[in-house]
């Protein structure tokens, strides 16, 4: 079996040579899913492939996981992704850069460089705290996610489709030594899964809103704009003009994160920086 196949075992090459009748059949299946909100069980199965982060991987934490899903299911998932995109554009502020078209790590690096430059120009102290949540994608609570989507105005029909997709999901782990039995999955949005970036962004925005960062007056004020955080996926950079402000922001985010993530997620502070402006503003 091709190792890139999902749970249904159908290779992607088959879809590249489909005739019109087969395309119509796939279209009919997608229409039926949209109408009934029920998914084929094969489309709810995932194959997890552990990939070592470094050469001599011995612990589970030394691996990251890629997810293989049914190639046929990707057609329907792309449709859902397109339907959700308008709500992503409406609900997400400018701060997050991860999983957004035209934005990436370079943009956030450039933003931090610009903030440092402006802080020096205006003779301001500036504090950074770099944090992330371990296993954040794996620890998304499904019931909380559906409530978040409702609060953000996602139509009930889309939410029901997503809920039914995640209900009764199964996975197996495939390694060079063989494949495990199928097991049930009750939480998380998987890295490498088509809808995961979109759903994770909704979840993360909700946490930051509840933490009060969007309304907070803390942060560095440049050109009449208050900036207290930058984000890329599950990595967060908090920004403040004093140590006390930074601690306050950190505790707000930590408190809300612990309420929203499942218990197996770990809130981690990576590093803090304090930059003092030079006497000459350089």
Beta-strand relationship, 183-184 and 170-175:
antiparallel
Low-confidence ranges of the chain (pLDDT < 70): 1-7, 93-104, 133-134, 191-192, 214-216, 223, 261-282
Residue 278: per-residue pLDDT: 46
Per-residue pLDDT reduced to its tens digit, 209-244:
888 876 667 777 776 777 888 887 778 889 888 888
58: which residues sit within 8 A by CB, 6+ positions away? none
Residue 274: per-residue pLDDT: 59
The residues with which 266 forms a beta bridge, in sequence order, are 134
* Chain centre to alpha carbon of residue 249: 21
Per-residue pLDDT reduced to its tens digit, 74-107:
999 999 999 998 888 787 766 655 556 666 677 7
54: which residues sit within 8 A by CB, 6+ positions away? 62
In whole angstroms, give the CA distance from residue 192 to residue 223.
38
**268 three-class SS:** strand
Closest CA to 8 of 41, 32, 36: 41
CA distances to 5, 9, 183, 250 from 271, in Å: 40, 44, 37, 12
Give long-range contacts, CB 8 A cutoff, 24+ apart: 273-277. 273/127, 273/128, 273/129, 273/130, 274/125, 274/126, 274/127, 274/128, 274/243, 275/116, 275/119, 275/120, 275/125, 275/126, 275/127, 275/128, 276/125, 277/119, 277/120, 277/123, 277/124, 277/125
Segments making up each domain of the chain, as ranges: 12-275
* Chain centre to alpha carbon of residue 22: 34
């Amino acid at each position: 079996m091709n190792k890139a196949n999902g749970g249904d075992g159908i290779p992607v090459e088959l879809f590249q040579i489909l005739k019109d009748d087969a395309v119509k059949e796939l279209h009919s299946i997608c229409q039926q899913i949209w109408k009934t909100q029920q998914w084929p069980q094969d489309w709810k199965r995932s194959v997890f492939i552990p990939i070592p982060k470094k050469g001599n991987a011995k612990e589970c934490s030394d691996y990251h996981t890629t997810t293989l899903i049914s190639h046929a299911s990707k057609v329907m998932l792309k449709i859902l992704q397109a339907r959700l995109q308008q709500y992503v554009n409406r609900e997400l502020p400018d701060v997050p850069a991860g999983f957004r078209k035209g934005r990436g790590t370079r943009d956030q690096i450039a933003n931090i460089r610009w903030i440092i430059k402006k802080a020096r120009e205006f003779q301001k102290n500036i504090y950074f705290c770099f944090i992330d949540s371990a296993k954040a994608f794996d620890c998304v609570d499904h019931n909380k996610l559906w409530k978040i989507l409702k609060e953000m105005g996602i139509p009930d029909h889309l939410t029901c489709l997503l809920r039914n997709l995640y209900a009764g999901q199964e996975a197996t782990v495939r390694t060079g030594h063989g494949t495990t039995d199928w097991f049930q999955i009750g939480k998380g949005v998987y890295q490498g899964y088509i809808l995961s970036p979109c759903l994770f962004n909704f979840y993360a925005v909700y946490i930051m809103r509840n933490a009060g960062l969007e309304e907070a007056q803390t942060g560095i004020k440049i050109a009449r704009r208050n900036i207290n955080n930058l984000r890329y996926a599950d990595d967060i950079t908090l920004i403040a003009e004093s140590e006390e402000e930074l601690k306050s922001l950190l505790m707000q985010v930590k408190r809300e994160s612990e309420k929203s993530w499942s218990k197996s997620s770990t809130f981690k502070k990576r590093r803090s920086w304090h930059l003092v402006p030079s006497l000459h503003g350089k």
